[in-house]
Amino acid sequence: MSARRVLIFGGIALIAGGMLFGDIFAVFVLHQNGGRTGEALLAATRAVTARDSAAVRQDFVRIGDLLEDHGTKLDAHAHMIAAGYLALLLALLQPYVALSCRSRKILAQLFVAGGLLLPLGIFFIHYVGLAYSPFSAIGWASVLADSAGALLIAALIAEVWGLWRYFRGLRPDVAEPALPPDDSWESRTLLAGGTLLILLGFLYGAWYAAFNLYEHEAREKNILTAMLNASTGNGGDATQFVGDYGRLQAEKAVDVAAHSHIIEFGLLAILLTFVQRFVFLNSRWKRFWVKLLLAGSVILPLFVLLEMHLGLIAGGIADIGGLMVLIALLGMLAGILRDTGALDAQEENAR
């Protein structure tokens, strides 16, 4: 298997794995974790009212634990997908990497291994904690994640060095053939759809930064101040402020998730334009996967945003959107596997 194939398979597998993990996280962890964090915060306000400092500390240990559980799972999801995207990007650049065939393949394998170990390490941070760690703040899972991150950086720098050699006029002994231009319907639709999705994501991000970011930060401080005033008997209902705080966190989460997902899906769509020629399926199926992917790419961020108005129904539809993207991705991966099988059979027949 050439370096490009390792990166394409590895990249798509990392993206699909990250998306599947994200869907599982959204369905089984996200809301339950939020509910438990709200309960712990409410218990902390009651402990404040009862002047029980020890109980407050205990409640915050619990809140910290829940936030770490949530944060590490979210980071594992995001890092796995980002590593997958970078692997696909490196696959595109392989014809211009002036390194030996063996070096390119080793680099590709190292990159995919780093992309797998980084989210794995992040995921285990919450469970391993500081057990048997010689460091005061960093546990063994963090060490694994940081080492995998360093591996990714090293592989990326080596690829840049290979590119630099190419532009200095050096050529590899056996080069990956450059991809011929692909002007198929699938390729054009993915390119146009992906560009539009990224643009929409950029515009939404700018709108969020201009109108929501600072307002959310100010509101968080006001709610916390009011919550503590109410808990100390200076007016208001602490339970209501805890509810307000939970709603604010949800508002922030949906804004950020909509912004990041629409851009990520746009990137994915454009990246997939380059692998369409390797998808060994008839055009009816190829078009179906493209339409499914783009439809899911719109449905997920749109219904994530509507979650604040429509509640869990919108959340469920958003999860289905994510599943549509995942299924389309797996459909294309199956086509690429068929292409690989056909190439292997041709080679065998030629021998």
Q: How far is the CB of 313 from another protein (least distance, A)?
A: 29
Residues 94/7, Cβ–Cβ less than 8 Å: yes
Segment interacting with another protein, rule: CB under 8 A, options 24-32, 100-108, 149-157, 316-324:
149-157
Q: How far are the Cα atoms of 70, 134, 147, 204, 332 from residue 64, in angstroms, in the given order? A: 10, 22, 25, 31, 41
The structure tokens listed for 112 are 């995919």
Q: Which of residues 53-72 bind another protein (CB under 8 A)?
A: 53, 56-57, 59-60, 63-64, 67
Q: How far is the CB of 185 from another protein (least distance, A)?
A: 14
**Interaction between residue 199 and another protein (CB under 8 A):** yes
Question: Nearest to residue 2, comparing CAs of 159, 85, 109, 111?
Answer: 109
**Interaction between residue 120 and another protein (CB under 8 A):** no
* Residue 231 to residue 235: CA distance in whole angstroms: 8
Identity of the residue, 88 or 314, whose beta carbon is nearer to another protein in the bound complex: 88
How many chain residues interact with another protein (CB under 8 A)? 66
* Residue 79 to residue 295: CA distance in whole angstroms: 24
Identity of the residue, 7 or 314, whose beta carbon is nearer to another protein in the bound complex: 7
Q: Considering only residues 202, 280, 285, 288, which one is a binding residue for another protein as defined by CB under 8 A?
A: 202
Contacts of 160 (CB under 8 A, 6+ apart): none
Q: How far is the CB of 242 from another protein (least distance, A)?
A: 12
Question: Nearest to residue 36, comparing CAs of 67, 74, 58, 72?
Answer: 67
Q: Considering only residues 16, 19, 42, 48, which one is a binding residue for another protein as defined by CB under 8 A?
A: 48
Identity of the residue, 34 or 149, whose beta carbon is nearer to another protein in the bound complex: 149
Residues 112/88, Cβ–Cβ less than 8 Å: no
* Residue 319 to residue 24: CA distance in whole angstroms: 9
Cα distance between the two ends of the chain: 17
Q: How far is the CB of 32 from another protein (least distance, A)?
A: 21
- Three-state DSSP class for residue 142: helix
**Interaction between residue 107 and another protein (CB under 8 A):** no
Q: How far is the CB of 213 from another protein (least distance, A)?
A: 8
**Interaction between residue 267 and another protein (CB under 8 A):** yes
**Interaction between residue 76 and another protein (CB under 8 A):** no
* Residue 37 to residue 32: CA distance in whole angstroms: 9
**Interaction between residue 14 and another protein (CB under 8 A):** no
Question: Nearest to residue 15, comparing CAs of 138, 116, 100, 105?
Answer: 116
The structure tokens listed for 26 are 């959204």
Segment interacting with another protein, rule: CB under 8 A, options 31-39, 82-90, 293-301, 318-326:
82-90
Segment interacting with another protein, rule: CB under 8 A, options 2-10, 22-30, 204-212, 280-288:
204-212
Residue 282: which H helix or E strand, with range?
Answer: none
Residues interacting with another protein, by CB under 8 A?
44-45, 47-48, 50-53, 56-57, 59-60, 63-64, 67, 78, 82, 85-86, 89, 92-93, 96, 137-138, 142, 145-146, 149-150, 152-153, 156-157, 159-160, 163-164, 167, 191-192, 195-196, 198-199, 202-203, 205-206, 209, 217, 220-221, 224-225, 228, 231-232, 260, 263-264, 267, 270-271, 273-274
